[in-house]
Amino acid sequence: MSFELVGPADDIAKGSVATASIGGVDIAIVHADDDGFYAVRDECSHAAIALSEGEVDGCTLECWLHGSRFDVRTGEPSGLPATEPVATFPVEIRDGDIYVSTTPSNGVMP
């Protein structure tokens, strides 16, 4: 599995989202309330809107347009109108830096 450097973990405050392009795919990197870092495709499966512009609540990311919520750990929607999951990507923290895999971890292709 190949990982790409995103940047320092300290640059993403808890409860916030940053964006990166990994392998040509736009990714939202979430520093969730559980202090974990998660990466999901930066596009709502319902309306093709950037999820990175939404709100973090616990381990969910809410789309600002229609309110769909996604579990950043699994990519599964937890609130309508979205019914399809978004791709999730493994994240590693190495020496204070965030690395994101180029391969989805939940079987959803970006």
Q: How many Cα atoms sit within 13 Å of 43 on the Cβ side?
A: 10
- CA 6 to each of CA 38, 58, 77, 80: distance values in angstroms, whole numbers, following the listed order: 12, 22, 25, 31
- Give per-residue pLDDT as tens, 27-58: 999 999 999 999 999 999 999 899 999 999 99
Is residue 21 within a helix (H) or strand (E), and if so which, with residue range? strand 16-22
Following DSSP, what letter does each residue of 40-109 receive, concatenated?
EESS-TTT---GGGSEEETTEEE-TTT--EEETTT--EEETT--S---EE-EEEETTEEEEESS-SSS--
Q: Residues 75, 78, 81, CA angle at the centre, nearest 5°?
A: 105
Residue 110's pLDDT is what? 87
- Give per-residue pLDDT as tens, 59-107: 999 999 999 999 999 999 998 899 999 999 999 999 999 999 999 999 9
Does the structure show a pLDDT above 90 at 1?
Answer: no
